[in-house]
């Protein structure tokens, strides 16, 4: 069963087409990764699902229901949450207040306390620094706070936009472990990640975007062995001019 379907989605910024006729399926409970170079349309795709940019064409369905054009606040109430690139914390607010912002619609103090306890259990360091100003945290701690804030909304579909960006290898490994743990807790994950090897090892299925369109798709193990993916995204060049994927290769 799929939790998310994009059917021919097109997004434009003025005269610039950022996404062109993109179709993909995200199975409930899985991890799907989106690969591509800078400017390929990866972040725009996540923003379209989150209701942050309008569609110029196509449809988005969540649990079978058309949510095309749904505003962001309604997407959040449906359990769709975006953990954005660059963390986007409120730097002058405390860690605790940043986390509370993730549950701004929640009215139950008891449920708020339960959600905070779950976040602090996942990120003990945030519990220790709950009163610290978010802008003074290390990069890794800020990423944890951004993930924690997203989890405070109790999402069923959590989209990560470049969660390893700018982090040290040790912290990247910790973020990868956390993404896996979140998924094992029953949350479906869509992962946009420049570290293609990490993304394909974490996920079950992947899509490669090029110039706003799906250039290649397949299960992640197959993509890890694909000559084109190896050459362009994994740095394992096996030929001077690797063959571009064709429609037939996309399956």
User: Which residues contact residue 148 at a Cβ distance below 8 angstroms, ignoring those fewer than 6 apart?
Assistant: 99, 102, 119, 122, 123, 126
Architecture of domain 1-77+157-164+190-251: 3-Layer(aba) Sandwich (3.40)
- pLDDT over threshold 70, residue 1: yes
- pLDDT over threshold 60, residue 205: yes
Dump pLDDT digits (tens) for 129-169. Answer: 999 999 999 888 999 999 999 999 999 999 999 988 888 88
- pLDDT over threshold 80, residue 240: no
Neighbouring CB atoms inside 10 A of 250's CB total 13
pLDDT grade for 119, boundaries at 50, 70 and 90: very high
- pTM given for the model: 0.88
Percentage of the chain surpassing pLDDT 90? Answer: 76
- pLDDT over threshold 80, residue 50: yes
Q: Which CA distances in Å does 199 have to 25, 160, 190, 195?
A: 17, 11, 10, 6
Tell me the average pLDDT of the chain.
90
CB distance 229 to 195 below 8 Å: no
CB distance 179 to 31 below 8 Å: yes
| Residue range(s) occupied by CATH 3.40.50.300 in the chain | 1-77+157-164+190-251
CB distance 103 to 115 below 8 Å: yes
């Amino acid at each position: 069963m799929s939790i998310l379907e994009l059917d021919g989605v097109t997004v434009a910024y003025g005269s610039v087409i950022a996404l062109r006729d993109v179709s993909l399926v995200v199975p409930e409970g899985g991890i799907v990764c989106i690969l591509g170079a800078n400017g390929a349309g990866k972040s725009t795709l996540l923003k379209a699902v989150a209701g942050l940019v309008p569609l110029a064409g196509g449809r988005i369905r969540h649990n079978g229901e058309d949510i095309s054009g749904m505003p962001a606040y309604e997407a959040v109430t449906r359990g769709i949450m975006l953990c954005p690139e660059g963390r986007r914390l409120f730097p002058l607010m405390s860690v605790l207040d940043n986390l509370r912002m993730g549950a701004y619609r929640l009215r139950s103090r008891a449920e708020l306390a339960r959600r905070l306890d779950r976040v602090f259990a996942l990120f003990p360091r945030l519990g220790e620094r709950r009163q610290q100003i978010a802008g003074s945290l290390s990069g890794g701690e800020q990423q944890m706070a951004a993930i924690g804030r997203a989890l405070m909304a109790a999402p069923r579909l959590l989209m990560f936009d470049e969660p390893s960006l700018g982090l040290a290898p040790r912290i990247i490994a910790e973020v990868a472990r956390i993404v896996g743990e979140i998924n094992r807790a029953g949350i479906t994950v869509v992962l946009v990640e420049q570290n293609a090897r990490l993304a394909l090892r974490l996920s079950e299925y992947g899509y490669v975007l090029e110039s706003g369109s799906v250039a290649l798709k397949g299960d992640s193990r197959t993509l890890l062995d694909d000559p084109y993916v190896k050459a362009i995204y994994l740095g394992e060049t096996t030929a001077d001019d690797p063959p571009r994927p064709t429609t037939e290769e996309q399956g």
